[in-house]
Amino acid sequence: MPYEPPTHSVERSIRAITGAKIVAGVDEVGRGAWAGPVTVCAAVTGLRRAPAGLTDSKLITPKRRTALAAELQDWVTAYALGDASPEEIDALGMTAALRLAAVRALKGLPVRPDAVILDGKHDYLGSPWQVRTVIKGDQSCIAVAAASVIAKVRRDALMGELEAERYAAYAFGANAGYPSPVHKAALEELGPTPYHRLSWSYLDAMPRWRHLKKVRVSAEAAALESGGQLGFDF
């Protein structure tokens, strides 16, 4: 199915309204997984024409996505990746963990962006970052689409390495740590690995391993998680 290619229209709008010179697109992968980190990529592309076929990483075949990620890493002006570990997700909650990973990615760029286009509905970054949220930004914005592909390929490779090194029974290479029948069966038989998120509700349905579930106790983290949207849009 053909998709409308992403454009620079949001970035041009931000530049015109705010005077921003450097605009980064930010996207995450791994938010709904049971295992592995949540990974965020920040990409700066300027206003150049995007490589052919660029769109939301979920709409691209794995083979094409891998090839496109390699092309994008040379094409973008700059990119950086940030992770929040399963332990950090358990301790902080997903909203705060996303912010942690995104800040790590943004601070990894060679120059601090003047503004950020954040995929999705909620601004989990907040002050002092100048943020514009864009629903389906990974389909409509070139910089966000580039970040989406790079983040997805990088995290998938990491999960594949975990399977190859030690955790073949969980099929991380195929499911990337997300729920799947094979993943669930391995969890029920073998229990969670050190890479599983132990505060998540899937453990409630596994009596044998329920005692391992962690409860988040940080009031600040709980407030961030329940609050949903942090900071501001413009």
* pLDDT tens by residue, 103-115: 999 999 999 999 9
Between residues 203 and 216, the one the model is more confident about: 203
What is residue 113's predicted lDDT score, i.e. its pLDDT?
97
- How far is the C-alpha of 158 from the C-alpha of 135, rounded, in Å? 27
pLDDT at residue 219 is higher than 80: no
Q: Are 145 and 12 in contact (CB under 8 A)?
A: no
Model confidence at 152, in pLDDT bands (50, 70, 90)? very high
Q: What are phi and psi of 137, to 5 degrees?
A: -60, -25
For residue 148, which of 135, 139, 158 has the smallest C-alpha distance?
Answer: 139
pLDDT at residue 1 is higher than 60: no
pLDDT at residue 233 is higher than 80: no
Model confidence at 215, in pLDDT bands (50, 70, 90)? confident
Q: Are 73 and 150 in contact (CB under 8 A)?
A: yes
To 10 degrees, what angle do helices 219-227 and 94-108 make? Answer: 90
Instruction: Count the neighbouring beta carbons within 10 Å of the beta carbon of residue 194.
Output: 12
Segment 129-148 mean pLDDT: 96
Enumerate residues 6+ apart whose C-beta is below 8 A from 67.
Answer: none
Between residues 85 and 56, the one the model is more confident about: 85
Q: Are 114 and 18 in contact (CB under 8 A)?
A: yes
What is residue 230's predicted lDDT score, i.e. its pLDDT?
32
Segment 48-63 mean pLDDT: 91
Model confidence at 218, in pLDDT bands (50, 70, 90)? low
Model confidence at 3, in pLDDT bands (50, 70, 90)? confident
pLDDT at residue 231 is higher than 80: no
Instruction: Count the neighbouring beta carbons within 10 Å of the beta carbon of residue 199.
Output: 17
Helix (H) or strand (E) segment spanning residue 143 = helix 142-165
Q: Are 117 and 15 in contact (CB under 8 A)?
A: no
Lowest-confidence range among 6-10, 22-26, 170-174, 228-232? 228-232
Q: How far is CA 83 from the centre of its chain?
A: 8
49: DSSP letter: P
Q: What are phi and psi of 135, to 5 degrees?
A: -65, 130
- How far is the C-alpha of 8 from the C-alpha of 49, rounded, in Å? 9
Segment 156-163 mean pLDDT: 97
pLDDT at residue 70 is higher than 60: yes
pLDDT at residue 53 is higher than 60: yes
